[in-house]
Copies of this chain bind each other. A is one copy, B any other.
Amino acid sequence: MNKYLKIDPWCILEEGFDPKNHRASESIFSIGNGRFGQRANFEETYSGETLQGNYIAGVYYPDKTRVGWWKNGYPEYFAKVLNAPSWIGLDFKIGDEILDLAKCKVHKFTRTLNMKKGYLQREFVAELPSGQQVKADIIRFISMDKPEVGAVEYKISPLTDNSTITVTSDVEGRIKNADANYGEFFWDEVNKDVSGARGFLTCRTRKTAFDVCIGAEVKADINGNTIELKCQNSQEEKYVASIFSVNVAKGEVLTIHKYASVLSSLYHDKDKLRKNADLVLQDAVKTGFASLLDTNIKVWDNKWEHSDITIEGDDEAQQGIRFNIFQLNQTYTGDDERLNIGPKGFTGEKYGGSTYWDTEAYCLPFYLCTAEQEVSRNLLKYRYKHLQKAIENGEKLGFTGGAAMYPMVTMNGEECHNEWEITFEEIHRNGAIAHAIFNYIKHTDDKQYLVDYGLEVLIGISRMWRQRVNFSEVKGKYVMLGVTGPNEYENNVNNNWYTNTIAAWTLSYTLKVIEIVKSLDQSKYNEIVKKAAFDEQKETTEWTDIIENMYYPVNENNGIFLQQDGYLDKEQLTVDDLDPKIRPLNQTWSWDRILRSCFIKQADVLQGIYLFEDRFDTETIRKNYEFYEPRTVHESSLSPCIHVIVAARIGEIEDAYSLYLRTSRLDLDDYNNEAHEGLHITSMAGTWMSVVEGFGGKRVRDEKLVLNPLIPSRWKSFSFKINFRKALLSIKVTNEEINIYNESDHTASLLIYGQEYLLSGNNNLVVKK
């Protein structure tokens, strides 16, 4: 844990420069717009510890894998989000001294992430080795309005002496991924040109051949008086720069505006990339910094209007939740079904920027409630479009007949991960993909999705489950051997309760969806049957047999669902038995010790109880919560949010609150000492869930929106908005009442504390507690 940031409801604030925190801050102050994003690297030279990172959505590289010992079925590559050419570079020489905060005395340093307005600001006074002091005030943003534009305003002023300031504005393509497995460069230059204050660099990824063109132009003024720039230019392999010098008197302010256009071949023909980058850049320059920033703020206003959660009486909690929502909104905007949400978004390289089950299990609920229906639909279609690859992946592992094994980690539908216990065994991800369809339909009632896309995916996954179980003669039941559940602190276990549960559920749901699709569109159903070579009679009979005879490990004495066979053979300890000094366990214990221990990385049985809550009475939920929560170390960022929701479900509001703080401020307070690697973007959606589904008690049941709010004692109120079917509900919870305003024209069917309500459009409902 490292709590060095200031509390503020709308901003993240760092005061004073401590190089030890810089890499974490580079992550935390990251900005992006769904199309591209970057870590909060300094514009100017910085020779201290840093992780440079610029990332462009959908642009990846299949790095050669590293494995200890090859296993059949492993993928050949691990796709990685690429550290892309950087457009932010603005280097300064003050006289003949390079401005480099690692080599200056730094005074009055502040770094601000203005979440309301969507920009990054930094101020400092740097005392150079010569004694010269300069003041700087920098604003940077990536436009939410113009998705291919970024801009920097860099104000710099000599405080002690007049100075000749030499500015180098560059586009830098000589970058590597810090996690490149073999230290290779992933980019080749395609073309470049630079003239005066404008330069362009086009690079191409090796192997995948994505082209990215970056254009940049600088403008400058002193105290508001535009300077005619006489630039020298510099070109090197994968590098262009414009360089100029200006005499700046003590106290004068030199303002540089750097505009950049960042285009990729996902959106442009390669042969038009350079030209279009020019057009986008010209437009940005013409619009000007102030106006660009202004429209950016307007888009953010709109985002906040729909997705904000307010918490009165607890600024720490307020800042935490807004930080999570802010990062989610700048990572994924949902307008392109080819894109998805990497666990670190645009904030770091870890996890390769690829798609995990996080998307379906954690992110979807957020976008379902806070964004247009199309956004969630695009997330689902992403997997539909990968169905054929999932079938091929299944074949690679020995499955047959159209069984779909979705990958653990993917960019394009192909598996990237290669640790056998995850790649081949953490197959519950397929259940999450199936459940996301269920969740989407429940929320939107868009049953046409099942006809158009959903059923095919469900058949593919169900076929996989069918082949993945086997009938145990000794148990007289279907068992599932050799899996890894959500709790990755156990590997290759038999009969993981969660996986068996979601597998059987998938089979049941597929049977239901078959009936829905038949009833909606028999001819499309016939088409699907043909396309998938679906033997309805035989396959559904087999599925039904599995549903009816699946084995679920349970402690017969007390009804606790057992995470897997043999869980109770472990020495039964609780987290209280652990010396806090050895936490997190994954940083101090050897892997075998972790595996042998009873400690659980993340919600596993409770993840299943969360998903299938309706099946269990409160007493059963409580028993399992009380058994598993003390054994859970929450060393996955995806864990505490689920426990919040389950704790709230059984009325354990203070438990829920302390777990909530952990999830909402995970990165801000760096609980697991890993913020320097990037942020836990996907778990941020879990934080949102923990407020809305945990404290808000939001569910969807029997076509109704269910709310059972509870409020932590430290809060005066909290409020959030929910899209539900066609209604848009603004919900405020205080200690006394729940106030719901239906902002739409559509009536919403509600169930609040067990009482049914119909709330018509543009109307208000107050339910006293």
Q: Which residues of A contact B (CB under 8 A)?
A: 65-69, 71-74, 181-182, 396-398, 417-422, 424-425, 470-475, 479, 481-482, 491-494, 565-566, 568-572, 586-596
Q: Please give the distance in Å from A273's CB to the nearest CB on chain B.
A: 34
Cα distance A106–B352 in the bound complex, in angstroms: 52
**Which residues of chain B have C-beta atoms less than 8 A from A181's C-beta?**
66
Given contacts A69-B422, A481-B570, 10 further A-B contacts (CB under 8 A): A66-B67, A67-B67, A73-B592, A182-B182, A396-B590, A421-B492, A424-B592, A472-B569, A491-B492, A565-B565
A470 lies within 8 A of B68 (CB): no
Cα distance A74–B420 in the bound complex, in angstroms: 17
Option from B72, B419, B479, B569 in Cβ contact (under 8 Å) with A68: B419
B491 lies within 8 A of A591 (CB): no
Cα distance A425–B592 in the bound complex, in angstroms: 7
B69 lies within 8 A of A419 (CB): yes
**Which residues of chain B have C-beta atoms less than 8 A from A71's C-beta?**
590-591
**Which residues of chain B have C-beta atoms less than 8 A from A492's C-beta?**
421, 491-493, 595
Q: Which of A72, A421, A494, A569 has the most CB of B within 10 A?
A: A569
Q: Please give the distance in Å from A259's CB to the nearest CB on chain B.
A: 41
Cα distance A274–B414 in the bound complex, in angstroms: 55
Contacts A68-B68, A481-B566, A586-B72: A593 and B398 contacting too (C-beta < 8 A)? yes
Q: Does more than half of chain A's interface fall in helix, strand or loop, or is it mixed?
A: loop
A473 lies within 8 A of B572 (CB): yes
**Which residues of chain B have C-beta atoms less than 8 A from A69's C-beta?**
419, 422
Option from B397, B494, B569, B596 in Cβ contact (under 8 Å) with A592: B397
**Which residues of chain B have C-beta atoms less than 8 A from A182's C-beta?**
182
Cα distance A565–B471 in the bound complex, in angstroms: 17
**Which residues of chain B have C-beta atoms less than 8 A from A482's C-beta?**
592, 595-596
B569 lies within 8 A of A481 (CB): yes
**Which residues of chain B have C-beta atoms less than 8 A from A72's C-beta?**
586-591, 594
A590 lies within 8 A of B481 (CB): no
Closest to A571 in B: B470
Closest to A594 in B: B72
Cα distance A588–B182 in the bound complex, in angstroms: 28
**Which residues of chain B have C-beta atoms less than 8 A from A570's C-beta?**
470, 472, 481
A591 lies within 8 A of B473 (CB): no
Cα distance A592–B568 in the bound complex, in angstroms: 25
A593 lies within 8 A of B68 (CB): no
**Which residues of chain B have C-beta atoms less than 8 A from A397's C-beta?**
590, 592-593
Cα distance A274–B419 in the bound complex, in angstroms: 47
**Which residues of chain B have C-beta atoms less than 8 A from A475's C-beta?**
569
**Which residues of chain B have C-beta atoms less than 8 A from A596's C-beta?**
470, 481-482
**Which residues of chain B have C-beta atoms less than 8 A from A66's C-beta?**
66-68, 181
B568 lies within 8 A of A472 (CB): yes
Cα distance A755–B643 in the bound complex, in angstroms: 71
B494 lies within 8 A of A566 (CB): yes
B473 lies within 8 A of A568 (CB): yes
Contacts A68-B65, A470-B570, A596-B482: A398 and B590 contacting too (C-beta < 8 A)? yes
**Which residues of chain B have C-beta atoms less than 8 A from A65's C-beta?**
68
Closest to A397 in B: B590
Q: Please give the distance in Å from A512's CB to the nearest CB on chain B.
A: 29
Closest to A398 in B: B593
Closest to A67 in B: B68
Cα distance A69–B586 in the bound complex, in angstroms: 12
B68 lies within 8 A of A591 (CB): no
Q: Please give the distance in Å from A284's CB to the nearest CB on chain B.
A: 41
30 contacts between A and B (CB under 8 A): A66-B67, A66-B181, A68-B418, A69-B419, A69-B422, A71-B590, A71-B591, A72-B589, A72-B590, A72-B594, A182-B182, A396-B590, A397-B590, A398-B590, A398-B593, A420-B595, A421-B492, A424-B592, A470-B569, A472-B570, A473-B572, A474-B568, A481-B570, A481-B595, A492-B492, A492-B493, A494-B569, A565-B565, A565-B566, A566-B566
Cα distance A190–B481 in the bound complex, in angstroms: 56
Q: Which 3 A-B pairs have the closest CB atoms?
A: A73-B590, A424-B592, A71-B591
Cα distance A71–B417 in the bound complex, in angstroms: 15
Cα distance A763–B71 in the bound complex, in angstroms: 56
Q: Please give the distance in Å from A282's CB to the nearest CB on chain B.
A: 46
A569 lies within 8 A of B479 (CB): yes
Cα distance A69–B422 in the bound complex, in angstroms: 11
